[in-house]
Amino acid sequence: MKPLFVFRPEPGWSITVETARAMGLDIQGAPLSVVEPVEWHITDPDEFDGLLVGSANVWRHAGAELEKLKRLPVHAVGETTAETARAAGFLVASTGRGGLQPLVDQLGGRELRLLRLAGEDRVPLDLPEGIRVETQVVYRTVPEPLPPEALTALRGGGVAMLHSASAAQRLCEEFDRNSLDRSQVDLIAIGPRVAAACGEGWRSIHTAAAPTDADMLALAESLCQN
């Protein structure tokens, strides 16, 4: 069986690894980055009709300023982000599937001014008519190198899971920096945008049937066995 490499920040890394090990997969890898809060302040929450949130990291790292926004409904990119918002005491007005752009498109046709809480690296959005978005950065992702054991394991090839475009970029950087052979590795991307960020030279690139950990791991199980 091929090893499965997971590269995503905590706490997602540990969650994916625990599930993969329960499936009997040979798990390798490590977070290639850590997420840390950015200092920010909100002056007038009443200017906005809702919050646009593309990552559960917002609720983990945004800090005390979130309390000022509790009255605003949340438009969350996916169910994990929505669940984390509810746990933090927020009302979720809508939950997307397949990325932030489709979610914003669904909101079109209304007059809404949204406060987007985001990381420093974020997806650009094409806003539909009636939707205005102001962005507030509340966290950043800090890169970390591949640990020696993961570097050694990758030289033998395997399957790698990528949950974000930033993770894809970091993996490419580490492969180039360490002169690793991309043709020995199959990639699983959570969606088409992440697949496009992976570049060329890999043994294969696959996109999960749906943007969930469960779908990615189901595909990983098949690839690791073949």
Given 81, 105, 140, the domain boundary residue is: 140
Q: Beta 33-37 vs 50-53: how paired, if at all?
A: unpaired
Instruction: Examine the domain organization and report whether 111 and 57 are in the same domain.
Output: yes
Given 97, 114, 140, the domain boundary residue is: 140
CA distance 150 to 204: 20
Domain, as residue range, for 136: 35-140
Query: To the nearest whole number, what is the mean pLDDT of the chain?
Result: 93
The number of folded domains in the chain is 2
Instruction: Examine the domain organization and report whether 49 and 113 are in the same domain.
Output: yes
Instruction: Examine the domain organization and report whether 127 and 46 are in the same domain.
Output: yes
CA distance 6 to 163: 9
Whether residue 164 is predicted with pLDDT greater than 90 in this model: the reply is: no
pTM above 0.85, yes or no: no
Mind listing the pLDDT tens digit for each residue in 127-152?
999 999 999 999 998 989 999 999 99
